[in-house]
Amino acid sequence: VGILRLPRGPDGSSRGFLGDSPRARALLGGSPPGGSRVPGVRAELRERFLRVLGAARGRPSRFSLRSGIRVDAEFGAADLEFRTLQVDSLRTPLGVEAAALLRGGDVLGFSFLI
């Protein structure tokens, strides 16, 4: 089994990354020098995404799947991490399912009319 050795840090005794490096700040949730809007922007984008999911509930939607197939359904809900989507009246090339779960990883995109 191979062993991964991290390079020596700039101070010569430590291994890994500087505590104020961009990578360390990203892992620890800090902001870069001079301040950054990244956490605020992420929160705003997450809020917009959740509002879109709320607006889509109960509306006819079209889903583009990774396999290249497009299916129509009535959007129901999504779990917290968007790993599973619950839909009703799923219309596929093989027929209609009254209720179904779509894996979030299989969904490339979805659209609905406002």
Strands of 15-106 (E only): list them. Answer: 60-65, 70-78, 84-92, 95-103
22 within a domain of the structure (yes/no): no
75 within a domain of the structure (yes/no): yes
pLDDT recorded at residue 43:
85
45-84: pLDDT as tens digits:
888 988 888 899 999 999 999 999 999 999 999 887 888 9
Question: Residue 93 half-sphere exposure, CB side, CA atoms within 13 Å?
Answer: 5
79 within a domain of the structure (yes/no): yes
pLDDT recorded at residue 88:
95
2-19: pLDDT as tens digits:
555 555 555 555 555 566
Across the beta sheet with 84-92, the strand order is 95-103, 84-92, 70-78, 60-65, 107-112
Give residue 24's pLDDT band: very low, low, confident or very high (50, 70, 90).
low
> For the whole prediction, is pTM greater than 0.85?
no
Per the structure, how many domains does the chain have? 1
65 within a domain of the structure (yes/no): yes
At 95, is the secondary structure helix, strand, or coil? Answer: strand
